[in-house]
Structure 1
């Protein structure tokens, strides 16, 4: 592993649960988006817990006391590690991401294809920035590759979706 990234021999997430108390009530569309984000993450991920044997893991994500909770468990749901990350460094990027997503969805209805493409490029850039920040915040605790970080950032945003 280098630069805090997981290698091909990395462990794998086999289940991801979002804490119901963290997400609250939302629309059917928001619930559907959350399910898709979880499915995508489980389908393709690299996930390493330094100091633990490589394996298959279950991840329980929650927000408590302005902290993002990564409760990592073994395949049988036995506790392995609990990491708490302050949400403060992520808050601005999540807010920016939602703003640009709102612009993107509004543009789909009225803008030209080139305008939509420009907004979508900005949306992807903000998402990538959030993914890199999440990788940095997890470094030394949980090692992931960039694509896994992108999917995890999507779920961090999913914890904030209100519908």
Structure 2
């Protein structure tokens, strides 16, 4: 992100639309943590935005697509981008499978086995984060850390508990 004031090129709020649906208390907690982490540290700026942030992000679902509705701090509309979730299906599915293996391993595996599974989990998370960053390229500038936190939120949105 070049030329953007880091204090302004950021999210100050993330809202999940009712189209996302609600789930178990555990899943809702994970969603809240993912949103908190994202707001706590991020670098976010819509491409070609003549104004400046900070920004608010509202996520919703429309026909199996993730809708990014971006507004300014005062609520003025900036842009809406719609991303297909199809490129994420395999990654999210594999990520959940390896997370299950990780939680199972914690109970009975050796530390080296747990570490190997965790490396695979982190690798899939990085792959999903890079895919998200690539899909947002030319639409919304995010650094890799922000892409990681957004991908965590995308994963949690898929988790039904």
- TM-score w.r.t. length of structure 2: 0.92
Separation in structure 1 between the aligned mates of residue 22 and residue 64 of structure 2, nearest angstrom: 19
2:92 maps to 1:63: no
Separation in structure 1 between the aligned mates of residue 130 and residue 147 of structure 2, nearest angstrom: 7
Residue ranges of structure 1 left out of the alignment (5+ in a row): none
2:30 maps to 1:40: no
State whether residues 7 and 54 of structure 2, in contact with CA within 8 Å, keep that contact through their aligned partners in structure 1. no
Match of 2:102 in 1: 104
Separation in structure 2 between the aligned mates of residue 142 and residue 101 of structure 1, nearest angstrom: 29
Separation in structure 2 between the aligned mates of residue 36 and residue 54 of structure 1, nearest angstrom: 27
Match of 2:24 in 1: 27
Separation in structure 2 between the aligned mates of residue 110 and residue 31 of structure 1, nearest angstrom: 28
Separation in structure 2 between the aligned mates of residue 26 and residue 57 of structure 1, nearest angstrom: 27
CA shift for structure 1 position 54: 2.7
| SS in structure 1 of the partner of residue 27 of structure 2 | helix
Match of 1:154 in 2: 152
State whether residues 62 and 159 of structure 1, in contact with CA within 8 Å, keep that contact through their aligned partners in structure 2. no
Separation in structure 2 between the aligned mates of residue 144 and residue 85 of structure 1, nearest angstrom: 15
Q: Provide, for residues 106-135 of structure 1, a one-character-per-residue CA deviation record: whole Å limited to 9, x for no partner.
A: 111221111111111100000000000001
- TM-score w.r.t. length of structure 1: 0.91
Q: Taking structure 1 as reference, are residues 50 and 125 closer, same or farther at Cα in structure 2, changes over 3 Å only?
A: same
Match of 2:80 among 79, 82, 94: 82
Match of 1:13 in 2: 11
Q: Identify which range, 46-55 or 151-160, moves more after superposition.
A: 46-55
CA shift for structure 1 position 7: 8.0
Q: Taking structure 1 as reference, are residues 10 and 143 closer, same or farther at Cα in structure 2, changes over 3 Å only?
A: farther
Q: Identify which range, 120-129 or 28-37, moves more after superposition.
A: 28-37
Match of 2:47 in 1: 50
Greater relative contact order (Cα < 8 A, sep 6+): 1
CA shift for structure 1 position 46: 0.3
